Amino acid sequence: MAAFYILLSCLLYVFLVAVSEVDATALTTAIGPNERLCFYTDVDKAGEKIGFYFAVQSGGSFDIDFEVKDPNDKVLLDGVRERQGDYVLTANTIGEYAFCFENDMSTLTEKLIDFDIMVESEPRRDPPAKPGQIAEQTSALEESIFKLNGMLLNIKRTQKYFHTRENRGFDTVKSTMNRLFWYALLESLGVVGMAILQVYILQTFFTKTGRKYKV
């Protein structure tokens, strides 16, 4: 019974350590035409991992320009007309990192973007030793926790993928409906215009030198 409580305590400890070592930010933002937006995150110590994910949810061809800079304004990552990206980089410099999006390619279309910025440190900390604790069981339990964490991250990425697909599909349907509406409106105006033109032509055809003939 005591071994069970020891394993339970180790499980809670490892879980709390894994949670406390991750600092993440998930945002959704709209970027207007010819607009540049930058977001920032702080790194407290060298060697931490920075996870950067983004996906264009709606607008135009679902593409955006992006750029990642370190505290010394050195470009670490950049891309042109990217639809989405998922990157992990090591922060070798302590300070403020910039994540910028630029919508220069669009002069009229607004872009909606989902993105995550995650600063993570993954030290394998051993739980405090206690009387009667079995090291092999603790190690196996810790490995199981990290495997579960990896599986949860994969599920999260899959959910993000389907969320992006759904938003892009909805935006495409909305754009198609708008095009059909304006096409139908122009078609109706064309039919009305042709009818008025035909009446005018027929009226002109039966008018000669100011005299009208009845038919």
Which CATH number goes with the domain that contains 155? 2.60.120.680
Least confident residue range of 18-22, 173-177, 207-211: 18-22
Instruction: Report in angstroms the alpha-carbon separations of 100 from 28, 110, 117, 148.
Output: 14, 16, 12, 32
Residues 80, 97: Cα–Cα separation, whole Å: 20
Residues 33, 110: Cα–Cα separation, whole Å: 6
Asked if residue 9 is part of any domain, the answer here is yes
Q: What is the pLDDT of residues 194-210, one digit of tens each?
A: 989 888 888 887 775 55
Domain count within the chain: 1
pLDDT band of 54, cuts 50, 70, 90? very high
Asked if residue 205 is part of any domain, the answer here is no
Asked if residue 186 is part of any domain, the answer here is no
Asked if residue 215 is part of any domain, the answer here is no
Least confident residue range of 16-20, 36-40, 42-46, 115-119: 16-20
Q: What is the pLDDT of residues 82-124, one digit of tens each?
A: 998 989 999 999 999 999 999 987 778 889 998 989 887 655 4
Least confident residue range of 2-11, 146-155, 189-198: 2-11
Asked if residue 209 is part of any domain, the answer here is no
The yes-or-no verdict on residue 126 having pLDDT over 80 is: no
Range of the domain at 80: 2-168
Per residue, what are the HEC states of the chain?
A: CHHHHHHHHHHHHHHHHHHHCEEEEEEEEEECCCCEEEEEEEECCCCEEEEEEEEEEECCCCCEEEEEECCCCCEEEEEEEECEEEEEEEECCCEEEEEEEECCCCCCCCEEEEEEEEEECCCCCCCCCCCCCCHHHHHHHHHHHHHHHHHHHHHHHHHHHHHHHHHHHHHHHHHHHHHHHHHHHHHHHHHHHHHHHHHHHHHHHCEECCEECCC
